[in-house]
Structure 1
Amino acid sequence: MTVLTIEEMAATLAPGQAIAGLDLGTKTIGLSMSDLGRRFATPRPVIRRAKFTIDAQALLDFAAKERVAGFVIGLPMNMDGSAGPRVQATRAFVRNMEEKTALPFVYWDERLSTVAAERTLLEMDVSRAKRAERIDSAAASFILQGALDRLSLLARSDGDEFSA
């Protein structure tokens, strides 16, 4: 497994390969998937956190089932750009995944992704209980959508087209 920049991931992905977005929380891992054309991020059910080996296996099972070519994982930077304890936990999770998979990871600045997800769910008039269930996967979708938008921009600037 390798940690790549979004530009490096763009160069390694073949047309028709989907990528997954992750929002790593203390209680859950929010999941989202791209479509095969890598245009849209769609929330998927969360993984309830247990211990690392169980979490890793659940993530790898998801990746195999969905034919994931790589992961975009939210990096929860502080608003001032500094790295706090959640950044360290995210980096440790990815380091530990190195022993489990060859799939690449891209870190993506996730500042305000949960706020954006919460606002969207509120606009959709989702109840408080259902928002609590869906917030992490919605945040993972915001994280992944940001990366997909960047991949699309890179493709246009290179004259390439990511399509299925």
Structure 2
Amino acid sequence: MRVLGMDVGDKTIGLAVSDPLGLTAQGIMTLRRINIQKDIENIKEIVAKYNVGLIVIGMPKNMNNTIGERARSVISFAEKLKDGLGIECEFYDERLTTLEAEKLLVSSDVSRKKRKKVIDKMAAVLILQSYLDNRKKRY
């Protein structure tokens, strides 16, 4: 079973998918958001294409571990996604993943213009890979 990782933003959703064994995460795309129905349709196609059995969504908690407005928005999105797809959704702490993705891209000498296009996808990879690594430790 593959796992789909998501970095959900207001304008875009970064997407990454695991290999079939659930060991590594690969970025697949950044989805430009249109509306909730279209977003779910687009994600449904990706779920079918990659045979996804679980979705991991980055939870943007505040640095003091509280749930703010942004996190509530992600929770609402996840509930609609779960209802629309019928697939289990889990949250995973995403604090600082966008910053970490930015640092990785800068250190790789990726131009500012290109970074803007791939930052959400890279954040999704970091969220998913961290989730997969943590899951391995639990078993």
Q: What TM-score do you get using the length of structure 2 for normalisation?
A: 0.97
Q: Give the secondary structure class of the aligned counterpart of 1:54.
A: helix
Mapped partners of 2:16, 2:83: distance in 1: 23
The alignment status of 1:36 with 2:17, answered yes or no, reads: no
Among the aligned pairs, what percent are the same residue? 35
Pairwise CA distance, 1:45? 1.0
1:89-127 CA-to-partner distances (Å, cap 9, x unmatched) read 000001112321221111001000001111111111111
Pairwise CA distance, 1:70? 0.7
Alignment of 1:143-154 (within 5 A): 143-154=127-138
The alignment status of 1:85 with 2:69, answered yes or no, reads: yes
Mapped partners of 1:30, 1:36: distance in 2: 20
Q: Give the secondary structure class of the aligned counterpart of 2:85.
A: coil
Equivalent position of 1:6 in the other structure = none
Where does structure 2 lack aligned partners over 5 or more consecutive residues? none
Q: Give the secondary structure class of the aligned counterpart of 1:99.
A: helix
Q: What CA RMSD, in Å, does the superposition of the two structures yield over aligned residues?
A: 0.8
Equivalent position of 1:104 in the other structure = 88
Whether contact under 8 Å (2:82, 2:89) holds in the other structure is: no
Equivalent position of 2:34 in the other structure = 50
Q: May I ask how many residue pairs the two structures share in their alignment?
A: 139
Q: Give the secondary structure class of the aligned counterpart of 1:148.
A: helix
The alignment status of 1:76 with 2:50, answered yes or no, reads: no
The alignment status of 1:142 with 2:123, answered yes or no, reads: no
Mapped partners of 1:82, 1:42: distance in 2: 29
Mapped partners of 1:137, 1:150: distance in 2: 20
Pairwise CA distance, 1:154? 1.9
Where does structure 1 lack aligned partners over 5 or more consecutive residues? 1-16, 156-164
Equivalent position of 1:61 in the other structure = 45
Whether contact under 8 Å (2:4, 2:128) holds in the other structure is: yes
